[in-house]
Structure 1
């Protein structure tokens, strides 16, 4: 059966990694709801690109930092498609600055989006997975949360938090047939990477044995694997798959 007629929710799905995840799931027959914050044009483009695919795609304008908005959206998705099977916590932002000069809002906004957002979406959706005693939860972390990157104490903290969230939640819900895993890419060729300074880009690349950035579709392929009952065993849970081109080897 694979992903045919499975219902997935992806946070932050209008561009970058999230966009590739949404389209990759839909190509395999999943019904995919995704959130976006403000770029309605990008969200419409994803919906248009998904037309003709085996699955279906629907965008929801939601501030992932707003618990009530998230709960309402989850209820709406279940109302449309009847169930939930897969949760992908992808929404994330970065506001890089060295710690002594970091504004409190630069700290809070990253944690509120990257960690609180994952909590709100997972908690709202978890009851549906628990009820059916089946489901997949996938959190998009980063090698920044494993190795740390200078100028990213807020981002590294949030991504390390997602790894801890993954490990703990996996133990809580394993008995209910729900697997929880994380994907930790290195530098990915997205708008977030392109916004880095040349010095930061060079610093990232010189430590990557493959000599290139990870592509968004490569992250999406791992997410598809973790989402698919036919490919990924239930026994695989609580793990973080590092996708870094050999950087950590």
Structure 2
């Protein structure tokens, strides 16, 4: 049986890297992407290949359709069509909305939301042709409840949640499942700006009494990418009971 292929955007670290490792351990061909950290991405590629799988690493801005098309052409040449797409690329912005520049807003929309549109648009035709596929979007609890001083970030994640629900209905007749994971506070570099007292206060708010692990996100993403063809259109919270 031919190996399946997964694409993970934003895979040089954190959740994206953990997801890539999970799929590699399960024998998938893995395509990894990031925008800036080429050295890190190559380190991840080396780790993935240690599991005796094929790995294609591609630098590029998935919020730019031309760069996204170039990546998908490489995927087509090396592996054919995708079986699983994991839209993980994302950035954060903390500050008052009134202080946010137009450029920062545009960059947030492009990175967090337009990238999802681009990758889905290019993945869908191959999945429809095969009558199977899985799309998993990495979202946030702030896309559900909103966060003060993270208005733009919350807006993009809320957009992803609505996008997920709508696209799932569109693709269900073609046996393609689309789901999202709404992450809570996960122990990644994105949260390392917190001072010790801020981190303690945050953990006190979480009923589970700790931050989540990137590997726990990866376990859920793999499950969504591998099993259950009837589960679609869901935004699944992974937050230790926080929200």
TM-score range, shorter chain: over 0.9
Q: Out of 182, 186, 192, which is 1:188 matched to?
A: 186
CA distance in structure 2 between the aligned counterparts of 1:149 and 1:71, rounded to whole angstroms: 33
Among candidates 233, 237, 242, match of residue 242 of structure 1: 237
Q: 1:100 to 1:197 in 2, by over 3 A?
A: farther
* Contact 2:81/2:123 (<8 A) preserved: no
Q: Which runs of 4+ in 1 moved over 3 A?
A: 196-204
Other-structure match for 1:219: 217
The one of 174, 177, 186 aligned to 1:176: 174
Distance 2:157 2:200 in 1: 22
Tell me the equivalent position of 1:122: 120
Q: Which residue of 2 aligns with 1:12?
A: 10
Please report how far the alpha carbon of residue 206 of structure 1 lies from its aligned counterpart in structure 2 after TM superposition: 2.7
Q: Say whether the 8 Å CA contact 1:181–1:238 is kept in structure 2.
A: yes
Q: Say which of 120, 131, 134 aligns to 1:133.
A: 131
- CA distance in structure 2 between the partners assigned to 1:135 and 1:13 by the alignment: 20
Q: Assess, with a 3 A threshold, how the Cα gap between structure 1 residues 199 and 94 changes in structure 2: closer, same or farther.
A: farther
Paired residue for 1:58? 56
Equivalent position SS for 1:205: helix
Asked if structure 2 preserves the Cα contact closer than 8 Å seen for 1:70 and 1:120, the reply is yes
If the length of structure 1 is used for normalisation, what is the TM-score?
Answer: 0.93
Q: Specify every segment of 5 or more residues in structure 2 that has no aligned partner in the other structure, as ranges.
A: none
Task: Please show how residues 68-147 of structure 1 align to structure 2 within 5 Å.
Answer: 68-147=66-145
TM-superposition CA deviations, 1:90-126 (whole Å, max 9, x none)? 0000121111222222222111100001101110111
Post-superposition Cα deviations, 1:190-241, rounded to whole Å, max 9, x if no partner, equal 111112455754553232011211110000000000011xxx2111000011
Aligned to 2:228: 233
5+ residue gaps in structure 1?
Answer: none
Q: Hey, what's the Cα distance between the residues in 1 that align with 2:194 and 2:33?
A: 24
| 1:167 maps to which of 159, 162, 165 | 165
Query: CA 1:203 to 1:164, structure 2 compared with 1: closer, same or farther past 3 Å?
Result: farther
Task: Identify which of 130, 133, 150 aligns with 1:152.
Answer: 150
- Give the paired residue count: 243
In structure 1, what is the Cα distance between the partners aligned to 2:206 and 2:94?
21
Aligned counterparts of 1:196 and 1:105: Cα–Cα separation in 2 = 25
Q: Is the 8 A contact 1:142 1:159 kept in 2?
A: yes
CA 1:14 to 1:153, structure 2 compared with 1: closer, same or farther past 3 Å?
Answer: same
Tell me the alpha carbon deviations over residues 14-47 of structure 1, each in whole angstroms, 9 at most, x when there is no partner. 1110000011101001001011112111011101
What SS does structure 1 have at the residue aligned with 2:22?
Answer: helix
Counterparts of 2:239 and 2:4, CA distance in 1: 29
Determine if contact 2:181/2:221 at 8 Å carries over to the other structure: yes
